[in-house]
């Protein structure tokens, strides 16, 4: 008998489908990022939060190791096909967010799929991104209240998008998407 892959064809195809759908959303978010950053920079964290969706949906639906990272990478490739100039950003974001989501799931030994675990992951992702953006966007130039709101929205954005991802994953599960092969 041949060695079986840890990720079945069904799981790989499901990750690919989720990645394509969320990659299109990421490309759309990328398209509105510049206008939002220019007109209402304080809301940028809500837009950027969409990048948690691939991993959240995949982990909620499939509840398996590596599905977040794999789905993020597919989403990044799809978004990069729309905006090839940003391939580095999309791949880097996929590795960062997908990696953090996998790390939190691994710490929980891939046994805890309750919503709290996803929200812990979202807060960690938001905090890491907020720190990086703090320096990249020179947030210190804002008034103190603006700095607080700006950073808070970088944490709230992933949390809100995580709630959306959990709802999508649960709906797909109820629809019977993660079919299991017969034993």
C-alpha to C-alpha distances, 16 to 24, 79, 159, 181, nearest whole angstrom: 12, 13, 23, 19
pLDDT of residue 33: 87
pLDDT of residue 119: 97
Per the prediction, the chain carries an average pLDDT of 91
More confident residue, 30 or 59: 59
The size of the chain, in residues, is 183
Do residues 25 and 53 make contact, with C-beta atoms less than 8 angstroms apart?
yes
pLDDT of residue 138: 80
pLDDT in tens, 43-77: 888 999 999 999 999 999 999 999 999 999 999 99
Q: Examine the pLDDT at 7 and tell me if it is beyond 90.
A: no
Can you give the pTM of this predicted structure? 0.91
Q: Examine the pLDDT at 4 and tell me if it is beyond 80.
A: no
């Amino acid at each position: 008998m041949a060695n079986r892959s840890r990720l079945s064809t069904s799981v790989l195809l499901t990750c690919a489908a989720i990645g394509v759908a969320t990659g299109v959303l990421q490309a759309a978010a990328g398209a509105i990022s510049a206008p939002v950053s220019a007109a209402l920079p304080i809301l940028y964290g809500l837009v950027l939060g969409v990048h948690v969706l691939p991993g959240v949906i995949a982990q909620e639906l499939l509840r398996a190791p590596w599905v977040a990272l794999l789905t993020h990478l597919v989403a990044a490739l799809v978004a990069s096909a729309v905006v090839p100039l940003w391939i580095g950003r999309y791949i880097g974001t996929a590795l960062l967010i997908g990696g953090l989501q996998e790390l939190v799931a691994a710490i929980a030994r891939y046994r805890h799929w309750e919503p709290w675990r996803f929200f812990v992951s979202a807060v960690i992702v938001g905090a890491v991104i907020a720190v990086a953006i703090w320096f990249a966007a020179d947030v210190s130039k804002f008034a103190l209240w603006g700095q607080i709101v700006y950073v808070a929205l970088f944490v709230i954005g992933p949390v809100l998008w995580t709630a959306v991802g959990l709802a999508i994953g649960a709906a797909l599960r109820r629809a019977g998407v993660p079919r299991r092969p017969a034993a």
